[in-house]
Amino acid sequence: MKRGFRLLRDGVTAFALLAFIGLIALKLQSARDVEMNGPFAIVDGDTLAADGSRLRLVGLDAPERGQSCGEGEKVWACGEAARTLLQDMLAGRQVQCRGHRRDRYGRLLVTCRAGGTDPAAALGRRGLAGSTGGCATAGPAARPQHAGSRSGPFDRPGHWRHREGMMVEAPSWLDDIAFRLGLREAAP
């Protein structure tokens, strides 16, 4: 009798667990892309705004709008340069962005196309943004040419945000090592 009860209990538990896993898989599968079409306001080199929503280009971390790069007489406004370049790339073009995940600040993480161009990759090629999360579309292409923000002393955007009080938590020492080895460009 006890053995039959255990088998029934184990069967019901296994069924409930499988049903729960199935519901989770169904929910993940139903996460559909949100598509937004321009025009967009350019907040900074990796953030767009439209209809009260903020969108962040996925796989990219650009210097902040008030951030400078270089040193001494060669200091330049790399954050403003990234914002201006993104604005110029999107101006007058049909811009389509899509994504389905949000970052910890509630911004929709998107990939965008503007007139057949990927603005995130273009910012990276010009050295005005680094890649995040192992995404290799941005910074590494700029590193050999020492272009853009990599042309002189460069403070990672995450470190700059932390120092300026825009981030509670500084990037970890593992992020620093990966950055210095060229394995990862920046943590958002």
The two structure tokens encoding residue 23: 């519901």
Read off the DSSP letter of residue 106.
S
Higher per-residue confidence, 139 vs 118: 118
| Host H or E run for residue 57 | strand 53-57
SS3 90: helix
pLDDT confidence of residue 187: 45
Using the structure block, give the residue that is written with the tokens 């010009």.
Answer: 126
Q: How confident is the model at residue 27 (pLDDT cuts 50, 70, 90)?
A: low
Is residue 33 within 8 Å of residue 99, measured between CB atoms?
Answer: yes
Assessment of whether the complete model's pTM goes beyond 0.85: no
Strand order from edge to edge, sheet including 108-114 = 34-37, 95-102, 108-114, 53-57, 47-50, 41-44
Query: Mean per-residue pLDDT for 149-166?
Result: 66
Between strands 53-57 and 108-114, the pairing is: parallel
The percent of residues in the chain predicted with pLDDT above 90, rounded, is: 20
Average pLDDT of span 89-116: 88
Number of residues that make up the chain: 188
One-letter amino acid at 156 equals R
DSSP 130-180: EE-TT--SSGGGTTTTT-GGGGS----HHHHHHHTTS-SSPPPHHHHHHHH
Q: What mean pLDDT is reported for the chain?
A: 76
Question: What is the predicted pLDDT for the residue at 129?
Answer: 84
Q: What is the mean pLDDT of residues 139-156?
A: 50
Higher-confidence residue of 24 and 49: namely 49
Gyration radius of the chain's alpha carbons: 22
